[in-house]
Amino acid sequence: MLEEHVKGNLPLFDTLGYPIYVVDPEFNVVFSNAAMKNLFENIGDAQDLKCYHLLHRSERPVKDCPMVRTLENKTPVLTELYVPFVKKHLLVNVSPVMSDGIIIGAIHSITDITEIKKKEEDYDQIIDIYASSINELKTREVRAQKGRDAFLNMLEDINESYKELENLFLKLILVMVNTLDAKSPWTRGHSERVSMYAEQIAEELLIDKDEVKSIKLAGLLHDIGKIGTYDYLLDKPGALTREEFEIVKKHPVQGADILQEIKQLRDIIPFVKYHHEKLDGNGYPESLKGSQIPLGARILHVADSFDSMTSDRPYRPAPGFEYALSELRRFQGTQFDHEVVEAFLKVLEKRNSRK
């Protein structure tokens, strides 16, 4: 069963920038991504190996094997290991994949902490980073759990036989999105907030429920193309040069290219690709105008712009809530869709009235 789930998501696994591999309950490696193969050189596809061969160089599971503890407790396990095979210190997070209360496999994700461990004079820093890694992984787990539960609620009308696959699929999406947002402290949580705003705007516009779901998912993945953007550009404290901005402007098309390989996500590609287009044609990547821009992309543009204006960035502090509202009103009909802005203002008004 696990092998069948993984086959359809191979492109998704390979877009992840950190090592990850999938193991069945018999400790067999089902799949390893490109980053994993790069860390463990000469392992090929690793499908003839057991996970404890890679992590412990053992012929059988060892006492502290994170996979053993995961199978016993049915909960995620975080373990620090020194792996002689690659002469590296690794932080290994093992998350179970469940089906009807039964573990059908596990996802191993790995962080290389070798350089940190070598700096014994910075021992306090090691403790802080280690604790931060644990807290971040716990936060990701909570977010993934909340996202999975919300997604399952949206899938009540889908045949029961597809629910396990959809559950795994969403977990992988959330892992990918959280990995992207974690590239920079300035973007942490951005994708989930944009997704929330976009969903609320779509509901206020009385859009069809299935379309609302697509817009919400597109909100999560709207910046996925930044996986291919240099980290120093995302964290640059000053204004970008023209050449640097041209690099950043490629992320909508790069995101569309990534999603093109995933059949279940092709319907949201136009929303992701065109979420930086403007009504007057001064946006990118294709300078579309007015109704040429899909409604889902116009909604994401408003949600994305609002969150950016109410969040700190390395090159400036957050302008603030009132400034963001004034900018949305100021550029209604030129940069932003008039009806979308009005719907979002109603959403914010309802939220304030409930406080």
Residues marked active site are found at: 226
According to DSSP, the residues that pair with 96 across neighbouring strands are 106
Instruction: Tell me how far apart the terminal alpha carbons of the chain are, to the nearest angstrom.
Output: 47
For 222, 302, 337, 342, the CA distances from 202, given in Å and listed in that order, are 16, 11, 13, 12
What's the CA dihedral at 47, 49, 50, 52 to 10 degrees? Answer: -130
Burial class of residue 150 (count of CB atoms within 10 Å of its CB; 0-12, 13-18, 19+): exposed
3-class DSSP assignment, residue 81:
strand
**CA Rg value for the chain:** 22
Q: For 24, phi and psi rounded to 5 degrees?
A: -85, 175
Residue 182 CA to residue 185 CA, distance in Å, equals 6
DSSP at 336: B
DSSP at 59: S
According to DSSP, the residues that pair with 49 across neighbouring strands are none
Residue 194 CA to residue 175 CA, distance in Å, equals 17
- The DSSP line for 232-269 is HHHT-SSPPPHHHHHHHTTHHHHHHHHHHT-GGGGGGH
Residue 31 CA to residue 49 CA, distance in Å, equals 10
CA angle 338, 342, 348 (to 5 degrees): 145
According to DSSP, the residues that pair with 106 across neighbouring strands are 23, 96
Burial class of residue 184 (count of CB atoms within 10 Å of its CB; 0-12, 13-18, 19+): middle
For residue 215 the two structure tokens come to 């817009």
